[in-house]
């Protein structure tokens, strides 16, 4: 089953960022040597007593067993006093029927026993192949060893352990101020294919030592996800396992008590939280399977923000747009096609397209001043900017995707073998 690791994406950040410790968060990883050999593929995060949690999950009608588990556990606990997160890579425990449910039960019970907490306080996420039964012993057999290895600083290992086809570990760190006092925000994520979030995407975990009620954390999470993870796409396929969990330990938080998500003392925290999610979401796109170019699509002048996002994703999901960019071909007619197929209001004769900042079309046709050689030069780069103005309203959105290349086909035509 072992395959040679894929070459690191050319769009990867130069290095994994420096992640500071988050008070109340301890990390441990293990190598289960099940699907992947000789690399960490299991992560246990221990969270301080009193940690609040919030989550958003895939809208798939066929969610994985861990997604079902987390939804139910958060509903039961109200997101209060969540004590652990367990993530395994290689097997998604999705479409595994009763055996899948039994596996998450067994893992939660064993971990709760070792950690001295309620089973409902153990969050779980799994990523990998869909449809293979997951033997819980692969995870529970590692628990004793994991408990001896906790560290506050092993964020690179933690981010590495949750990878599947990812070519680089994804992390981000911000310092936010609440009430004048600093709190740390750390995030790790995995994702490379099956990326078209319809809620959260892939797996992403955010940890902060801010002291926030679960309801406030949840209220901050939703809108931030809408503008970040829900605005990226690699291949238009939505995972059964999409999970984004945020944890607030409250350890060493010196700011005052906050009970309301609209409290202005949270303004900087919210901004940094969204910035962190955006950073992680972009890293997911930069590791899009086979990606050679990172594409930012800005849509303005749409009927409303919702329409702008739908038009943006219609462009971002178009195989013909993505292959044209892969081929460094300024085939802007395909952008028109993608706007047209979105189903959203558009007036063909008002659509204005810019590529790399250069005006290409105005009033429904190509400009006499348009310089295709200049557009092609832009497309030869790694960072591609497309802007579309509909000219009919004030709706705007930004979405991000990558190009569609031979690499995507090679990776996915034989993922399991």
Residues marked active site are found at: 201
144 is a contact residue toward a second copy (CB under 8 A): no
**Cα gap 211→116, rounded to integer Å:** 22
Q: How far apart are CA 183 and CA 48, in angstroms?
A: 15
Q: Which is nearer to a second copy, 46 or 334 (CB)?
A: 334
Minimum distance from residue 352 beta carbon to a second copy (Å): 12
Decide: 164 and 90 in contact? Cβ < 8 Å. yes
Interface residue with a second copy among 17, 21, 222, 319 (CB under 8 A) is 319
For residue 29, which of 87, 106, 107 has the smallest C-alpha distance?
87
Pick 83 or 310: Cβ nearer a second copy? 310
Does 180 participate in binding a second copy (rule CB under 8 A)?
no
Q: Which of residues 238-297 bind a second copy (CB under 8 A)?
A: 238-240
Nearer to a second copy, 9 or 249 (CB): 9
7 closest CA partner among 162, 168, 212, 231: 168
* # chain residues binding a second copy, by CB under 8 A: 73
Q: Which of 33, 151, 394, 410 binds a second copy (CB under 8 A)?
A: 410
Q: How far is CA 252 from CA 45, 209, 214, in A?
A: 18, 7, 17
404 binds a second copy (CB under 8 A): yes
Measure the CA–CA gap between 125 and 65, rounded to whole angstroms.
9
Site for a second copy in 14-73 (CB under 8 A): 58-63
Closer CB to a second copy, residue 32 or residue 64?
64
SS3 content of the chain, % helix, strand, coil (to 5): 35, 25, 40
Distance CA 269, CA 183 (A): 8
Using the contact rule CB under 8 A, the part of the chain among 45-53, 109-117, 254-262, 338-346 near a second copy is 338-346
206 binds a second copy (CB under 8 A): no
Which member of 31, 71, 95, 305 binds a second copy (CB under 8 A)? 95
Judged by CB under 8 A, which of 126, 156, 164, 318 binds a second copy?
Answer: 318
Closest separation in Å from C-beta 60 to a second copy: 3
CA distance 238 to 82: 27
Nearer to a second copy, 113 or 198 (CB): 198
State the alpha helices, DSSP H only, in 78-202.
97-115, 137-140, 143-147, 155-161
Question: Does residue 103 bind a second copy (CB under 8 A)?
Answer: no
Q: Measured from the CB atom, is 300 or 331 closer to a second copy?
A: 331
The least CB distance from residue 34 to a second copy, in Å, is 17
383 binds a second copy (CB under 8 A): no
**Looking up tokens 């892969």, which residue turns up?**
326
Q: Over the range 146-160, which residues count as b (16 or more CB within 10 Å of their CB) and which as e?
A: beeeeeeebbbbbbb
Which residue, 121 or 339, is less far from a second copy as judged by CB?
Answer: 339
H helices within 287-318, ranges in order? Answer: 305-316
Give the DSSP letter of residue 29. E
CB of 343 to a second copy, least distance (A): 7
**Contact, 88 vs 53, CB < 8 A?**
no
Which residues, in sequence order, are CB contacts of 417 under 8 Å at separation 6+?
Answer: none
Should residue 97 be labelled a site residue for a second copy when binding is judged by CB under 8 A? yes
Does 192 participate in binding a second copy (rule CB under 8 A)? no
Binding of residue 150 to a second copy (CB under 8 A): no
Q: Angle between the 214-227 and 267-286 helix axes, to the nearest 10 degrees?
A: 50
| Residue owning tokens 């995995």 | 190
> Could you give the string, one character per residue 357-376, with x where binding to a second copy holds by CB under 8 A and - elsewhere?
----x-xxxx----------
Residue 409 is a binding residue for a second copy (CB under 8 A): yes
């Amino acid at each position: 089953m072992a395959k040679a690791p894929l070459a690191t994406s050319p769009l990867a950040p130069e290095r994994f960022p420096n992640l500071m410790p988050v008070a109340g968060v301890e990390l441990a990883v293990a190598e289960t040597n099940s699907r992947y050999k000789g690399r960490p593929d299991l992560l246990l995060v221990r969270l301080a007593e009193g940690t609040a949690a919030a989550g958003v999950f895939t809208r798939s009608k066929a969610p994985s067993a861990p997604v079902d588990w987390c939804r139910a556990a958060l509903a039961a606990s109200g997101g209060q006093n969540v004590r652990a997160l367990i993530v395994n890579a290689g097997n998604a425990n999705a479409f595994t029927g009763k055996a899948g449910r039994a596996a998450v039960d067994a893992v939660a019970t064993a971990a709760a026993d070792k950690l001295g907490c309620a089973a409902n306080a153990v969050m779980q996420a799994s990523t990998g192949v869909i449809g293979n039964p997951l033997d819980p012993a692969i995870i529970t057999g590692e628990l004793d060893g994991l408990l001896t290895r906790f560290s506050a600083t092993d964020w690179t290992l933690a981010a590495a352990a949750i990878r599947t086809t990812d070519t680089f570990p994804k992390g981000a760190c911000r310092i936010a101020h609440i009430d004048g006092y600093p709190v740390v925000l750390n995030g790790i994520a995995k994702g490379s294919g099956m990326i078209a979030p319809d809620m959260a995407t892939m797996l992403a975990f955010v940890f902060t030592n801010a002291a926030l009620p679960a309801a406030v954390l949840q209220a901050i999470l939703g809108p931030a996800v809408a503008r970040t993870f829900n605005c990226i796409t690699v291949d238009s396929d939505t995972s059964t396992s999409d999970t984004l969990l945020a944890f607030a330990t409250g350890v060493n938080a010196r700011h005052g008590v906050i009970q309301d998500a609209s409290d202005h003392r949270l303004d900087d925290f919210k901004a940094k939280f969204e910035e962190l999610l955006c950073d992680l979401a972009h890293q997911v796109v930069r590791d899009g399977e086979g990606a050679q170019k990172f594409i930012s699509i800005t849509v303005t002048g749409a009927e409303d923000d919702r329409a702008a996002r739908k038009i943006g994703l219609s462009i971002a999901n178009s195989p013909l747009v993505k292959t044209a960019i892969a081929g460094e071909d300024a085939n802007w007619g395909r952008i028109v096609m993608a706007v047209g197929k979105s189903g959203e209001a558009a007036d063909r004769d008002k659509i204005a397209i810019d590529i790399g900042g250069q005006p290409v079309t105005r009033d429904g046709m190509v400009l006499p001043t348009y310089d295709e050689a200049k557009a092609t030069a832009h497309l030869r780069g790694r960072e591609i900017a497309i802007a579309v103005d509909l000219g009919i309203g004030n709706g705007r959105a930004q979405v991000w995707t990558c190009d569609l290349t031979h690499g995507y086909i090679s990776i996915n035509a034989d993922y399991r073998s």
